[in-house]
Structure 1
Amino acid sequence: MDEKIIVGSEEWLGFPSLGIPAIKARVDSGAKTSSLHADNISTFKRNGTPWVTFEVHPLQNNRRTVVRCEAAVVDRRNIKSSNGTTEKRYVISTQLSAGEHSWDVELTLTNRDSMGYRMLLGREAMRHRMLVDPAESCNLGLISKDQLKAHYGSHEQPQDGLKIGILASNPKLYSNQRLMEAAAEHGHQVTFLNMRHCYMKMDAEEPEIHYRGGRLLNDLDAVITRIRPSMTFYGCALARQFESMGIYTTNTSTAITQSRDKLFSLQLLIKKGLNIPTTGFANSPIDTSDLIDMVGGAPLIVKLLEGTQGSGVVLAETRKAAESVINAFKALHANLLVQEFVKEANGKDLRCFVIDNKVVATIQREAAPGEFRANLHLGGTASVVRISQEERKLALDAAKTLGLKVAGVDIIRSSKGPLLLEVNSSPGLEGIETATGKDIAGMVITSIEKKLRWKKPA
């Protein structure tokens, strides 16, 4: 008994290997596992082993002091919190420093912004080493403000890089991972912002956007807007809020809204004289026959206005099939486009990646056998291709017409020349980076640097 450390209900602890010399912990023998506050958690592999990188704000009510940490992943477990909710958390093993003593402990990583302490010490970490006297506090010693300043003075967020947020839904998506990596490689502070965790304050004098836990996002320099179709309304509302606060967005809310409305975007494109496949739109099933004739008859393509990445797209090979598909969709009150089928495209299309009015890379996508859509998610293949000046100009004009700074422009080659299929405001990076070997994510970051006139310090 005498050899065990007597601790109070709260203690100052340290994690030397994580670069955290002092953090106040809630000592809780009723909790089995120990947890550490962690933000912006992302995984990577080192020598084939899973690792995790994360940010810790070691001082309560202070988000300016940040320690960037990384550690090997021991496990990922379902942990039930004190409020009864279950969360799947990464588990790491690291050295705990408690006064003059130290030993290895396991920690789960979670956001503890809403908790009273940034660290919780559970009984597994204390077993055979500590006794808790709940009437005591800081038995291992107090740490003054001057000591904390000495500890964390070098951990203030650096000011030489930009503060960039990635507004999206899935931090594990290849495109989002690559953008985070590229921003960090360029020396910037990058934060993944899950749209569902953002909320806003609309005020004429002090508009704000907050992140889960109360974090204020007003100090960002730029936001990379990668809004999934199902979140277009709320995502664009957030983008408008950032814009009203003077924060640069790669694609504006207006541009994204225009590109997501397939009918409106096609109307804008043809208004500028850009060629598209002949397309028809009607509301009543009574007009189905004339609608089919309008686009040259069957075979034809039927597209739902709300579809994306090839979903909601049907090939009707005969007139009877076309009538059945169109009338079935209209019976469900679905808005759809009817478009001519360009047979000579032979299941191929071009994806031109445009950044700041420049085509930085192009691939040709070819449909999988038995499939008419040149979609990589459906087993299609991608290869590098050289495009003509006419095709390049068409891609640039399309992105410019919709106001997109970053865009994926889809074009098919027809007997009438190149035709615009669609303009994507959140184009994926995996297919085009893999096929071309180009650092597209880095180019997006460079475009932000140029827009904000940022230069890397010597």
Structure 2
Amino acid sequence: MTTQENHPANSADKIIVGSEEWCALPTLGIPAVKVRVDSGAKTSSLHAFNIRPFLRAGSSWVSFEVHPLQNNRRTIIRCEAEVIDKRVIKSSSGIGEKRYVVRTSLQHRSEQWDIELTLTNRDSMGYRMLLGREAMNGRILVDPAAGFLGGDIKSKQIEAMYQEHTRETSGLRIGLLASNPDLPSNQRIMEAGEERGHRIRFYDVRQCYIKLDAEHPEIHYRGGRLLNGLDAVIPRIRPDLTFYGCALVRQFENLGIYSLNSAAAISHSRDKLHSLQHLLQQGLPIPTTGFADSPLDSDDLIDMVNGAPLVVKLLEGPQRRGVVLAESKTAAESLINAFKSLQANLLVQEYVKEADGKSLRLLVVDNKVACAVERQALPGQFRSNKQHGTSIVAARISSEERRIAIKAAKSMGLRVAGVDIIRARKGPLLLEVSSSPSLDDMEDVCGKDLAGALISAIEKQLGWKRRLASPIGTSDASSNLTQ
């Protein structure tokens, strides 16, 4: 149900807007937000995070925080509103997400009327708010070639409007240890850290260096900047930098700086053969696997895994690369001999035909499955591979698959892990456990703030709690929240 009462009856009285406009949400205490006007979308949505339901006088309410300005996470408005509905909203990609629906007032120029808003994280979008056609019906005409027909707002005016709601960063000091600051997963982690009020910085692993000293051990960043004062680090180390990256993480740990994944766990996960041996020792199921040093043993090695077709994996290859399907025994022998002639270590695994090119990726954070997706290989590919394109959808997992993923991550000491599983006739089988799983594609599919889950795991470990600001129009909102 939409609230479009008392709207103008003819087009001459309607408001003409462009494809983007500045609007206000007075009831929520938001004086200005840049809105994307989209008549192709049915519902309107507002960027919101830290969404928490609570009861007030027997009614369902929700508190939430808003970054009203794009690319600005220091400006925060905390709001409360009564929940009028919960709906599954489909994005333009067809992915459904269940959202809270609230009613609030929208102001454009001197006109003001009530609209319905769904609350969702729009960090990846270009606008903090989208105005859909339900909120425009009978009131608005859109000129898609125009913009800011209601007037533009200058930067100084915005600063004055939000001065009281712009805070200095006062949270934890967190370092993201990686190689590429432009990777979407790394950007999302940075955004999530800033969103929660932490001082998070990107540090290129290759630009860090270590001082080993009994009295004054140190870690420096390019230019001599000292990193000893960090509270925590999030390591996302490239496979080819595993040795140096783990040495760096180990030094942070020696200094008493918390690492979301330990150096020992990362090193353990990168040794594919050791990982498989360990998982088997823990009673976890894997595909039948063979390993040999001499190419003279190729025939017996192939027979060990029930013959061709079979999968050949390079032990030193990055995850999801260096994996080849040998469809015949002759092809398998050729591959094994070729790799062995290059002195490459490899293993062979049984090919699970019934998996049909599908695999599950479960993201485990702090001993809980935060998200699960299913990847489908493209035609001509025998397994899903992000580098070569793949379809990805949210997955429903069994209690056994959940148990296997959590036990695999926990037994390897990983607080954050991407666990790959295939479904076989004999049950789920573990393929790999990654210490630096990608987040962006899973967030898109699951509609969850997975980067925020990583930051929350650090907060929990260090016992850090953020004090929420009071919402507009109340003196103490936190007393109304029921956890």
Instruction: Quote the residue 1:431 is aligned against.
Output: 441
Contact 2:418 2:433 in 1 (8 A): yes
For the residues of structure 2 that align with 1:203 and 1:158, how far apart are their CA atoms? Answer: 35
Match of 1:419, as an amino acid?
L
Partner SS state of residue 400, structure 2: helix
| Matched residue, 2:224 | 214
Q: How many residues align?
A: 308
Task: Tell me which residue corresponds to 2:158.
Answer: none
- Spell out the pairing of 1:316-355 with structure 2 (5 A cutoff): 316-355=326-365
One-letter code aligned to 2:462: L
Counterpart-to-counterpart distance in 2, 1:264 and 1:52: 44
Are residue 405 (structure 1) and residue 415 (structure 2) matched? Answer: yes
Give CA-to-partner distance per residue, 1:55-102, whole Å, 9 cap, x none.
xxxxxxxxxxxxxxxxxxxxxxxxxxxxxxxxxxxxxxxxxxxxxxxx
Conservation of the 8 A alpha-carbon contact between 1:301 and 1:314? yes
TM-score, normalisation: structure 1 = 0.66
Instruction: Output the CA distance in 2 between the equivalents of 1:408 and 1:274.
Output: 16
**Equivalent residues of 1:160, 1:457 under 8 A apart:** no
What is the CA–CA distance in structure 1 between the aligned matches of 2:183 and 2:69, rounded to whole Å? 21
Give distance in 1, aligned partners of 2:322 and 2:386: 16
Where 1:213 maps in the other structure, the secondary structure is helix
CA displacement, residues 185-215 of structure 1 (integer Å, 9 cap, x when unaligned): 0000001010111001011222110000110
Residue of structure 1 equivalent to 2:51: none
Residue 278 of structure 1 pairs with residue 273 of structure 2: no
**What is the 5 A alignment of 1:90-105?**
none
Q: Which one-letter code corresponds to 2:183 in the other structure?
A: L
3-state SS of paired residue (1:423): strand
Asked if 2 retains the 8 angstrom alpha-carbon contact of 1:160 and 1:456, the reply is no
Identity across matched positions, percent:
63
Does structure 1 residue 365 correspond to structure 2 residue 399? no
Structure 2, unpaired ranges of 5+:
1-67, 74-166, 469-483
Matched residue SS, 2:223: coil
Q: Which has the higher contact order (CA 8 A, sep 6+)?
A: 2
Alpha carbons 1:376, 1:431 under 8 Å: kept: no
Please give the per-residue CA displacement for 1:22-51, whole angstroms capped at 9, x wherever unaligned.
xxxxxxxxxxxxxxxxxxxxxxxx999xx8
Structure 1 residues 127-164: Cα deviation after superposition (integer angstroms, max 9, x where no partner)? xxxxxxxxxxxxxxxxxxxxxxxxxxxxxx96730000
Show the counterpart of 1:61. Answer: none
User: Which 4+ stretches in 1 moved above 3 angstroms?
Assistant: 157-160
Q: Does 1:172 align with 2:182?
A: yes
Aligned equivalents of 1:214 and 1:353: distance in 2?
A: 36
- The secondary structure found in structure 2 opposite 1:446 is helix
Letter in 2 for 1:321: A
* SS, match of residue 333 in structure 1: coil
In 2, distance between residues paired with 1:417 and 1:435? Answer: 25
User: Does the 8 Å CA contact 1:283/1:335 hold for their aligned counterparts?
Assistant: yes
Amino acid paired to 1:445:
I
In 2, Cα distance between equivalents of 1:47 and 1:292: 60
Normalised by the length of structure 2, the TM-score is 0.62
Give 1:378's aligned residue: 388
* CA pair 230-415 structure 1, distance change in 2 beyond 3 A: same
Distance 1:338 1:387 in 2: 27
- Please name the residue that 1:265 is paired with: 275
Does 2:375 correspond to 1:356? no
Specify the alignment match of 2:152 in structure 1: none
Query: Aligned partners of 1:421 and 1:168: how far apart in 2?
Result: 24
Contact 1:376 1:382 in 2 (8 A): no
Contact 2:361–2:373 (8 Å) recurs in 1: yes
Partners of 2:431 and 2:225 in 1: how far apart? 41
For 1:196, the equivalent position in structure 2 comes to: 206
The answer to whether the 8 Å contact 1:348/1:365 transfers is yes
Residue 300 in structure 1 maps to residue 301 in structure 2: no
Whole-angstrom CA distance in 2 between matches of 1:172 and 1:392: 32
The equivalences for 1:89-238 within 5 A come to 160-238=170-248
Counterpart CA distance in 1 for 2:72 and 2:330 is 56
* Alignment-derived partner of residue 15 in structure 2: none
**Does the Cα contact within 8 Å between 1:242 and 1:249 map onto a contact in 2?**
yes
Distance of aligned partners of 1:353 and 1:317 in 2 relative to their CA distance in 1, 3 Å threshold: same
Counterpart of 2:143? Answer: none
| Cα deviation digits, residues 205-241 of structure 1 (max 9, x gap) | 2211000011000000000010010100000000000
Q: Residue 311 of structure 2 contacts residue 325 of structure 2 at CA under 8 Å; is this kept in 1? A: yes
Q: Could you say what secondary structure the match of 2:409 adopts?
A: helix
For residues 270 and 256 of structure 2, the distance between their equivalents in structure 1, rounded to whole angstroms, comes to 24
Cα separation, 2, equivalents of 1:443 and 1:279? 34
Structure 1 equivalent of residue 298 of structure 2? 288
Residue-by-residue CA offset, 1:364-404 (whole Å, 9 max, x unaligned)? 00001111121222111100111000000000011011110
Do the aligned partners of residues 52 and 211 (structure 1) sit closer, same or farther apart at CA in structure 2, a change above 3 Å counting? farther
